[in-house]
Amino acid sequence: MLMVLNKCSCNRVQSQTFGDNSILHLHSYNDNDDNQHYFANDDVNERIRSAFDVHQVENTLYAVLGKRSDSLRKLDQKIQRINNNFKFVENTCQNTHANVKWDKYNGHCYHYGTDIIDWYTAKRYCQKIGGYLVKIDNTEENRRIHSIIRKTGRNHWIGLTDFKEGEFRWTYDQSVASSIPWYPGTGKHNTNKNCVDIGDFSGKWGDRTCSIQLAYICERNFCN
């Protein structure tokens, strides 16, 4: 510890500490004595002043706070997705399969889910009600589905994935999809985008991260 001593009639002690270095000041407040004596090591004092540089401290704090803020924002988004999924499961448990509405078309039945959930949750729900995430076999079926979902203003999950990168298969029967009507800029090789949706506006398909929350379409081969 470095001591800076003043002969005075009234002394005040102020201590500042940074890391392993400390400096202790005794200041003179004698109005009749203008002579103050300081014993200090200039090199040590310069290092202490540099360490306490206000701009360096502010820049460091802003950088740390910025990272913390970004991390908290991402955490809030994850919590919101989890809450949405739990709410969806809770509502599902309160309803029976008999309450599920099916739209009949060309020998198959379709359920247009309005809950906003991730792809995996949508897949499990479709299985729970006796169906599967929709498999779109041809242009006519795609046109029919698009005519319904465009009224909702929401994109919908379908049962197509490329968990084996670049090979898009239907979860219903594991058949490989052909002639996919991709939305411009989608359908490229990207390991972070393995699930496919159908757009409400264009009826085109796009690959997305499976954790994104969208509406969904279930299909079953038989319904009442």
185 or 195, higher pLDDT: 195
Same-domain check for residues 17 and 113: no
Same-domain check for residues 47 and 65: no
Whole-prediction pTM: 0.58
175 or 2, higher pLDDT: 175
pLDDT of 219 > 70? The answer is yes
Same-domain check for residues 90 and 107: no
53 or 114, higher pLDDT: 114
Same-domain check for residues 115 and 213: yes
| Average predicted confidence (pLDDT) for the chain | 78
Same-domain check for residues 15 and 39: yes
Same-domain check for residues 6 and 116: no
Same-domain check for residues 138 and 179: yes
CA pair distance 157, 154, nearest whole angstrom? 10
Residue 9 lies in domain: 2-52
pLDDT band at 218 (very low <50, low <70, confident <90, very high): very high
22 CB contacts (<8 Å, ≥6 apart)? 1, 2, 15, 16
CATH number of the domain to which 192 belongs:
3.10.100.10
Q: How many structural domains is the chain composed of?
A: 3
pLDDT band at 99 (very low <50, low <70, confident <90, very high): confident
* 170-204 burial code (b ≥16 CB/10 A, e <16): bbbeeeebeeeeebeebbeeeeebbbbbbbbeebb
Same-domain check for residues 88 and 129: no
Mean pLDDT of 89-111: 75
DSSP alpha helix (H) spans, the chain: 42-51, 54-94, 119-128, 139-149
Same-domain check for residues 152 and 195: yes
70: which DSSP letter? H
Same-domain check for residues 116 and 215: yes
Question: Helix (H, G, I), strand (E, B), or coil: what is residue 18?
Answer: strand
Residue 190 gets the label, from left (phi > 0), alpha (psi -120 to 50) or beta, of beta
Q: 10 Å Cβ neighbour count for 127? A: 13
pLDDT of residue 40: 46
Same-domain check for residues 155 and 110: yes
Same-domain check for residues 62 and 142: no
